[in-house]
């Protein structure tokens, strides 16, 4: 006879249509019965009728390869995307200021965790200035049905949802007022099938605006990584952002200083372009753990611009990777 475990193992080898992840990882298998007959209940969320049919055929064919498999029945049920999503940690990158590298740090964090073997998604909550897809070279349009939408996958298998993927042209402008922006962010959370993720990284909109507030109020954010630069203005605005996060009772996981210095390619000497590093002092002052420095790196800028962020490696990036595993909550320690 066939065991339930055998059936689950078969299901783990079947990709969800339109994605590189299997239907178990995406949480589409809602129930498995083996007695008296084999019955598998699948979510229909985000799948068009012909995709459901193809999936059904695949599942039946796969289970029927098991020795002694009784007739196999497939059931589809409508489930809200939110019910399919099970995400261990939601980590937001934030700063009081734009252009300091929030998106870059979000992308590097996602890549870093993915390289470590975690399942990772990025929710680009910067509706007006979405910059995640470009860094990953992601250009596909998300697919779905009236019941849910599936994220786009990067080369390394990072799930991405961003306003830019929904626009017909990358340089199309999104000129929306607050409530619409908030609604878009909520939809990226409620209507997107993320499935099971170890980490969802949220690239926050700049500053301490309504949109930032929406993310922190509507999503169960586990913690925030604050991004600063050596400039005075940034430090001031980071302090505002820190106090906002504190008011929301969200843990501040770390403060990272981006564009901290530039390494002279000739001499190897660090040059302080934006003034002396103040990251560590700011971390002490705000009582946020210091999470290290990233230099202003032309190669990083190039890769971020060309969709090659997943190929980027550097000494600073390695140090960030190491630090990240220390400051992030939970499952990191289990590896």
Ligand X SMILES: Nc1ncnc2c1ncn2[C@@H]1O[C@H](COP(=O)(O)OP(=O)(O)O)[C@@H](O)[C@H]1O
Count the Cβ atoms, other than its own, within 10 Å of residue 194: 23
- Rounded to the nearest 10 degrees, the angle between the axes of helix 178-190 and helix 210-218 is 30
Per-residue 3-state assignment (H helix, E strand, C coil) for 123-181: EECCCCCCCHHHHHCCCCCCCEECCEECCEECCCCCEEECHHHHCCCCCCCCCCCHHHH
Contact partner, 92, from ligand X, Mg ion, none, Cβ < 5-8 Å per class = none
Whether residue 253 contacts residue 120, with contact meaning beta carbons closer than 8 Å, is answered with no
Q: Tell which residue, 214, 230, 228, has the closest CA to residue 182.
A: 214
294 contributes a contact to ligand X by CB under 6 A:
yes
What x-and-dash track marks residues 103-142 binding ligand X by CB under 6 A?
Answer: xx--------------------------x-----------
Instruction: Draw the binding track, 51-90, toward ligand X (x: CB under 6 A; -: no contact).
Output: ----------------------------------------
CA pair distance 227, 97, nearest whole angstrom: 9
Residue 119, binding choice from ligand X, Mg ion, none, Cβ under 5 to 8 Å by partner class: none
Q: For ligand X, which is the closer residue by CB, 195 or 205?
A: 205
Out of 17, 46, 96, 101, the only residue in the binding site for ligand X (CB under 6 A) is 101
- Closest separation in Å from C-beta 293 to Mg ion: 19
Look up residue 249 and give its two tokens: 């009772």
Give 76 or 320: the residue with its C-beta nearer to ligand X.
Answer: 320
Contact status: 301 vs ligand X (CB under 6 A) = yes
According to CB under 6 A, which residues from 240 to 279 bind ligand X?
Answer: 258-259
CB-nearer residue toward ligand X: 151 or 205:
205
Interhelix angle for 298-305 vs 102-115, to 10°?
80
Q: Which stretch binds ligand X (CB under 6 A): 31-39, 97-105, 187-195, 264-272?
A: 97-105
Among 98, 157, 179, 289, binds ligand X (CB under 6 A): 98
Least distance (Å) between residue 98 CB and ligand X: 4
What token pair was written down for 276?
Answer: 């002396």
174-176-178 Cα angle (round to 5) = 135
List residues near Mg ion by CB under 5 A: 102-103, 126, 131
Q: Which is nearer to Mg ion, 227 or 328 (CB)?
A: 227
88, exposed or middle or buried, with CB in 10 Å at 0-12, 13-18, 19+? middle
CA distance 246 to 250: 6
Whose Cβ is closer to Mg ion: residue 59's or residue 125's? 125
> Which spans of this chain sit near ligand X (rule: CB under 6 A)?
95, 98-104, 131, 206, 258-259, 294, 296-297, 300-301, 304
């Amino acid at each position: 006879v066939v065991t339930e475990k055998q059936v689950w193992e078969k299901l783990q080898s079947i990709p969800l249509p339109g994605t590189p992840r299997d239907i178990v990882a995406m949480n589409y298998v809602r129930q498995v019965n083996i007695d008296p007959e084999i019955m598998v209940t699948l979510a229909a969320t985000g799948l068009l009728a012909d995709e459901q049919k193809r999936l059904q055929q695949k599942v039946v064919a796969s289970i029927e390869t098991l020795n002694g498999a009784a007739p196999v029945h497939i059931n589809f049920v409508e489930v809200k995307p939110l019910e399919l999503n099970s995400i261990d940690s939601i980590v937001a990158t934030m700063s009081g200021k734009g252009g300091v590298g929030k998106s870059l740090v979000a992308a590097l964090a996602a890549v870093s965790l993915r390289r470590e073997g975690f399942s990772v998604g990025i929710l680009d909550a910067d509706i007006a200035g979405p910059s995640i897809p470009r860094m990953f070279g992601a250009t596909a349009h998300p697919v779905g049905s009236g019941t849910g939408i599936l994220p786009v996958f990067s080369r390394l298998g990072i799930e991405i949802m961003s306003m830019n993927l929904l626009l017909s042209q990358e340089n199309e402008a999104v000129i929306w007022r607050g409530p619409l922006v908030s609604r878009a962010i909520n939809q990226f959370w409620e209507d997107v099938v993320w499935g099971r993720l170890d980490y969802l990284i949220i690239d926050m909109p700049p500053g301490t605006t309504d949109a930032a507030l929406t993310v922190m109020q509507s999503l169960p954010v586990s913690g925030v990584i604050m991004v600063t630069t050596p400039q005075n203005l940034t430090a001031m605005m980071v302090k505002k952002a820190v106090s906002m996060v504190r008011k929301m009772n969200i843990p501040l996981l770390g403060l990272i200083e981006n564009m901290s210095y530039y390494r002279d390619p000739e001499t190897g000497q660090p040059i302080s372009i934006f003034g002396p590093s103040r990251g560590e002092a700011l971390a002490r002052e705000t009582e946020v753990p210091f999470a290290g420095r990233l230099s202003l790196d032309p190669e990083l800028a190039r890769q971020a611009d060309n969709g090659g962020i997943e190929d980027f490696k550097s000494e600073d990036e390695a140090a960030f990777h190491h630090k990240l595993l220390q400051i992030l909550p939970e499952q990191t320690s289990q590896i």
